Amino acid sequence: MFACFTTFEASKHWMRLGFRVVTDARDPSAGLSMRQPSDGMPSRLPGGALPGRQFTDDMPPRYSHGDQQSADSPRRAPGDFPRREPADFPRRAAMPSRQPAYPNRPSGGRHRRAVPNSLPQGAPALVLAVPGSDTDLTTGAAGEISAILRVDNPAVDVRAARIDGGGHDDPSDLRTVLTDAAAQRPDGGPCAIVIPLLATINPPVIRRLRAAVAASGANAIVTGFFNSNAMIAEILHIRLAEAGLARADRVRLFSIVTAADGVLIATVGGPDGATSANVTSILLAARLALPVITASLDGGPSLQEAATRLKEMGVNRLAIAPCFIGPEATRRDLDALAIGTDYAAPIGAHSNIAKLAAMAYGQALNSIELPDEQD
């Protein structure tokens, strides 16, 4: 046994494992030095707590404002903090709720209605000016678009009229419709907002329209579609897909082989009509990822010229997208579509056309002063 202890003592010295004093640091009896208060900091007790404030007779304790003890009150023990008592403050009057500066201001944003839900009795009528002398206003594109406008805007007096009607004796003539609308409204303001049913610019039709409005003698505003390229490009895409000439979905069916690898947009209205559809052709090309060129059925560039350009670009399967609603195209224009290639149906009565008409009416409505309800 003695030999074992001797060996252990020798190993301590050889491995330097011996320590003089090994004590617990938490033990206040350990030989650890404490911070002295000479450096301005309070000394920390071994348990980790700071010492309490010591008060002497020549240095009274401090009290918070409004809590000064009187001379008769007993002195508080150190660490016995004062307790705040509820005071009787005067009750403050309630602030009035903030009222909106414009209580009747229409809501803005992307989904704002183009036409208000309610209009005064003397609000101008929405008159769709339809080209053609024999256009049926009850059926077909004009009749269906008028029906959509009436359903979507029940507060609007929607009417359809022929630009090239039979004169004052024809109830569907534009001059007769404007005269009747003026007779049902107070004097001073416009009786109607006339919107030509055109997908592109058509100078000959616009000239006849303004001549008919001037001949009626009525106070009417003539306007048209604005910012219509994106909506019309969507309609052309739908019509091409319905005819099997283009894919219906530009995302899921992106790699599908379509029946056409080039599209030609056919317009009416001469060179001005073809030029006004250039932005529409760019948007349609972006939707289909195909080359798209505009051409005119009654002017230049012709369909044959545009088809030659597409073939020079490597297009083998050509499709034609008629960019007109229907009534503005004559029989000769429709016959010009037959150049030996497939073509889709015209725009027709699509809901986007009704939206464009409502937007044009609302834009013109904002620029005039409407009569009061009592009028």
Closest listed residue to residue 25, CA positions, set 43, 48, 42, 50: 48
Do the strands 125-130 and 192-196 form a parallel or antiparallel pair, or are they unpaired? Answer: parallel
Residue 103 has pLDDT above 60, yes or no: no
- Residue 53: the pLDDT is 54
- Residue 367: the pLDDT is 87
What sign for the dihedral angle of Cα 250, 256, 262, 263? negative
Residue 317 CB contacts under 8 Å (≥ 6 apart), including other chains: 259, 260, 261, 262
Q: Is residue 263 within 8 Å of 239, Cβ to Cβ?
A: no
Closest listed residue to residue 265, CA positions, set 235, 225, 226: 235
Q: Is residue 115 within 8 Å of 193, Cβ to Cβ?
A: no
Calpha distance 347→325 (Å, rounded): 5
Closest listed residue to residue 124, CA positions, set 364, 328, 374, 289: 364
- Residue 41: the pLDDT is 52
Tokens of 273: 């009509």
Residue 85 has pLDDT above 70, yes or no: no
What does the pLDDT look like over 295-350, one tens digit per residue?
Answer: 999 998 999 999 999 999 999 999 999 999 999 999 999 999 988 999 999 999 99
Q: Which residues pair with 343 in a beta bridge?
A: 320
For the chain, what's the residue count? 375
What sign for the dihedral angle of Cα 241, 347, 139, 335? negative
Mean pLDDT of 115-142: 89
Q: How far is CA 115 from CA 111, 154, 191, 373, in A?
A: 12, 10, 17, 17
- Residue 212: the pLDDT is 94
**DSSP reduced 3-state for 222:** strand
Determine phi and psi for 220, rounding to 5 degrees.
-135, 150
**DSSP reduced 3-state for 173:** strand
- Residue 168: the pLDDT is 80
What does the pLDDT look like over 28-73, one tens digit per residue?
Answer: 444 445 555 545 555 554 555 555 555 455 555 555 444 455 455 5
Q: Which residues pair with 163 in a beta bridge?
A: none
- Residue 253: the pLDDT is 45
- Residue 1: the pLDDT is 53
Least confident of 80-89, 159-168, 249-258: 249-258
Tokens of 263: 């599209």
What does the pLDDT look like over 192-224, one tens digit per residue?
Answer: 999 999 999 999 999 999 999 999 999 999 999
- Residue 182: the pLDDT is 94
Q: Which residue has the higher pLDDT, 159 or 98?
A: 159
- Residue 303: the pLDDT is 93
What does the pLDDT look like over 168-178, one tens digit per residue?
Answer: 889 999 999 99
Residue 3 CB contacts under 8 Å (≥ 6 apart), including other chains: none
Please name the helix (run of DSSP H) or strand (run of DSSP E) that holds residue 237, with its range, or none: helix 229-242
- pLDDT bucket at 159, cuts 50 / 70 / 90: very high
